[in-house]
Each structure stands twice: as C-alpha cells, then as structure tokens.
A and B are shown apart, each in its own frame.
Chain A
C-alpha cells in the first residue's frame, strides 16, 4: 500500500475514470502495484465490465494474459473488509494500444462458486479457466469444456485450496494401474 500515495500524485489512469463514469456500481475497491492498476469488482457485473474493458476503443484490453484465483481462507487482510469472500478470481489484462496492464479481481464466495466464463470474449481463457477450475474448483458458467487440465481425470479435490494437504491425501502412494490402463 506504500505506493498508493505515489499513484495519487500521478494523473488518474484513464481506465479508472472511465469505469467510474460507466460502472460505478460494479467497483468494490482499487489499488495499484508497480504501475499496474488493480480493481476489485462485483461478480454480478464482472462479465459486463470485462467486456467493456476489451471492446472500448480507448481502453482496448484485448490481451487476456492470465486467469487464476487466490484462496484467502487463511489470510488476515484488509482486503477482507468487503464481506468475506474466500476466493478471488484474478484476470490479468494487457492493452497493446495503451501499453498498460490491468488486474481485475472478482470475489467469489465459497457457497456460490459460479462465475461467468469469459471464453466468449477471449478464446485463450479456455485453458486458463480450466486450470482455475482444476486447482480451485471455481465453476465457470458457459465454459464450452470445463474439465480438469493438469490433474488426472479421476482426481478428487482441488489441490491449490489452502485446506488441501501439501503432501496430498495418499494419492501418490495409492495406485491402481489396472484401472488406468483399461
């Protein structure tokens, strides 16, 4: 947060101005880190905001760099202030036109793990969302093929969740080769 003051001295980023004008109801918080603007937005408006960020001719965040998630269940942070959401889905965007990056975070509650898929906006979101589903169990609604991508198909659980034991639940010792070869 120490860079916050530094950011305020600079002119306000265009993306924040435009979002405040058009999507003031979607924004929950904002931050900046090493020159990257971070915005936290409401899940219900996430797809609309992301679509706007991509299609607006002045912003044109046409490159989806990454989709991932964070499990905050063991974190004590001021980010918890807007009613506790266990997961935070993170979209990293890049605008070739503005040559700037943007990080969009969307809180996802544990009791409702659904979030709209952005494969309709960026085709490259397909495998990224599959990985996020595999590792965290986030359910991307409207995804064309939401299967595990890294772990074996018959794997149970989502290993990057904080409550998943680091050394696993015995799956690395327990093996049924007959089933796998069938």
Chain B
C-alpha cells in the first residue's frame, strides 16, 4: 500500500505538500479496496472461501468486502467449471458490474475447461467474457488466488485499463 505515486516534497514545503495526478490517486484507492464478486461453482470456490477466511485472510490486501451483488463489485472471481447452462448467468452478472471491472479466472476449469473436455462445459470463460488474470491449478492454493489479486492490484496501479474496457480512461 506504499505511497509510491507521491511526488517529492520540496524543502520549502517541509514535506507537508505532496504532488501527484488524479489518476494515480484514484487508482491507488481502487487497488486497495477491490470488492470481489464470487462466482464459485466448484472446488475452486472452497479454496476461495479459505482465502477469505482467517487463515489466509484476503483482507490483508484490502479485498475482503465480498459482495453477492454484481452491482456493488468491481472484481469478478470465476472459480469453478462453467457449463453451457451457467454461461448466460455468468455473462449477465459480468454485464451488471459497473465499470471499471476486472476478472480473475481461477483454476483450470474456468480457464480452459480443465479435464472436462465434454459437450456441456465451456472451454474457457475468456471465450465470452474478458479475463484479466488467469490462475493455473486444480484447484489453486489460496496463495495463488492472493497472488492473482495482487496482480490485479499491480495492473490497476500501473494505470492499465481492464481487459473488458475498450475505451482507455486517461
């Protein structure tokens, strides 16, 4: 959570005035208070729950405010296999999230279908919704999910726009 965007104060101001840009301040705020929308459909969701619970404690990174309404969220965590019957639901939830929004595709099934190369399973949710960070694993460890959240934070801090945004906000 370092204030790495802060410009150096001058000797006259004695460090009481900082200089920065509005984008950097906004992104600093966004990255440290991601509100995830969990979309857990399988065993990856169990790991996601463990990540949120006390042992791994995602709140250390400012992302513990899980919202079960997509309208209050800006980070979609797709954790689990998505069937062709579920994909319209996921797409609709993604569409309901306000911009800017980020997507983590957690685990092998969400990212590429995993071992379920069958008629009923979507072979990667990125065919239908834009994904910012992929997590390999079956299921991934909670540390992997934390790493993915940190990567999203890095992406926000760098000023890069989410995958799902076509117009770049500068």
Q: Which residues of A contact B (CB under 8 A)?
A: 150-152, 159, 164-169, 171-173, 175, 177, 180-181
Contact = CB atoms under 8 A, between A and B. Distances in A.
B122 interface: yes
- Grouping DSSP codes into helix (H, G, I), strand (E, B) and loop, the A interface class, with mixed when no group exceeds half, is loop
Interface string B72-102: 0000000000001101100110000000000
Contact of B118 (A167, A173, A177, A180): A167
A139 B99 CA distance: 48
Nearest to A174: B84
A39 B119 CA distance: 33
A177 B88 contact: yes
Contact of B88 (A150, A165, A166, A180): A180
Contacts of B118: 166-168
Nearest to A180: B88
Interface of B: 84-85, 87-88, 91-92, 117-123, 127-128
Contact of A152 (B85, B91, B117, B127): B85
Contacts of B121: 172
4 nearest A-B residue pairs (beta carbon): A168-B119, A180-B88, A152-B85, A172-B84
A172 B88 contact: no
A134 B89 CA distance: 21
B127 A151 contact: no
5 contacts: A159-B120, A168-B118, A169-B119, A171-B84, A175-B84
Nearest to A166: B118
Contacts, number: 39
A113 to B, nearest CB: 21
B92 to A, nearest CB: 6
Contacts of A165: 119
Given A177-B91, A181-B92, A172 B119 contact: yes
B92 A159 contact: no
Given A159-B119, A167-B118, A169-B119, A175 B87 contact: yes
A167 B120 CA distance: 8
A166 B119 contact: yes
Contact of B120 (A172, A175, A177): A172
B120 A168 contact: yes
B123 A151 contact: no
Contacts of B87: 175
A45 B122 CA distance: 43
Given A167-B117, A177-B91, A180-B88, 13 more contacts: A150-B85, A151-B85, A152-B85, A159-B120, A165-B119, A166-B119, A168-B118, A168-B120, A172-B84, A172-B123, A175-B88, A175-B128, A181-B92
A167 B119 contact: yes
Contacts of A166: 117-119
Nearest to B91: A177
> Which of A159, A169, A175 is the most central at the interface, judged by chain B CB atoms within 10 Å of its CB?
A175
